[in-house]
Chain A
Amino acid sequence: GQNIDQPTEMTATEGAIVQINCTYQTSGFNGLFWYQQHAGEAPTFLSYNVLDGLEEKGRFSSFLSRSKGYSYLLLKELQMKDSASYLCAVTDSNYQLIWGAGTKLIIKP
């Protein structure tokens, strides 16, 4: 079956750095997305990786290793507004999106 694993919850301190991991087992691979979802709101797009390596976008970076079936989202200089759930999603060989359950990130002052 197809599966995406992320930690359920993580806690970090304002101003620090946090890395949220995502591992996947899917039938084929056509890209990996990270979305941010604040409580009670819709998910919003953060990043997309299709090739191995690091994609940097301001305070957020996303890394992909296709051979390891692994990605991480790196958040730097954490702010209180970064408290949210972070969803990892993979597009399989049929271009179906497979979603992880999300990682709830709690930022403490």
Chain B
Amino acid sequence: SAVISQKPSRDICQRGTSLTIQCQVDSQVTMMFWYRQQPGQSLTLIATANQGSEATYESGFVIDKFPISRPNLTFSTLTVSNMSPEDSSIYLCSVATGGSSSGANVLTFGAGSRLTVL
């Protein structure tokens, strides 16, 4: 399965600032996914990052707030813009790789970026 390096692992940010999270994969992948995980809650998909085209955002998430770059098949960034305390969460990048004996696409995750907004 793929190995994903994600950084920063954690950060404390001031209200109104922006932070960019980076995700590097050790192999070329078509799609990369950005998730948010708030304490005690489900993983929520923010967007799918496609190389060479605009990211596809899920309902409730917009490009102005969460701009995504995907310059090549091994790298992506997610920016959390104009942060507020409600953005305090863990942000995870992931890629889909074949990994089950049934051939299903298994997700491999980065270690996550824990953001605290004051």
Q: Do A and B bind each other?
A: yes
Q: Which residues of A come within 8 Å of B, CB atoms?
A: 4, 8, 31, 33, 35, 40-45, 47-48, 50, 87, 89, 91, 96-97, 99-102
Query: Least Cβ distance of A49 to chain B in Å?
Result: 8
Complex contact B111–A97 (CB within 8 A): no
Q: Which residues of B come within 8 Å of A, CB atoms?
A: 1, 40-45, 92, 99-102, 104, 106-112, 114
Contact partners of B107 in chain A: CB under 8 A: 33, 35, 43, 45, 97
List the B residue with the shortest CB-CB distance to A30.
B104
Complex contact B43–A48 (CB within 8 A): no
**14 additional A-B residue pairs with CB within 8 Å, beyond A33-B107, A48-B102, A101-B41:** A4-B42, A31-B104, A40-B112, A41-B112, A42-B109, A42-B112, A45-B1, A50-B102, A50-B104, A87-B43, A96-B45, A97-B45, A101-B40, A102-B40
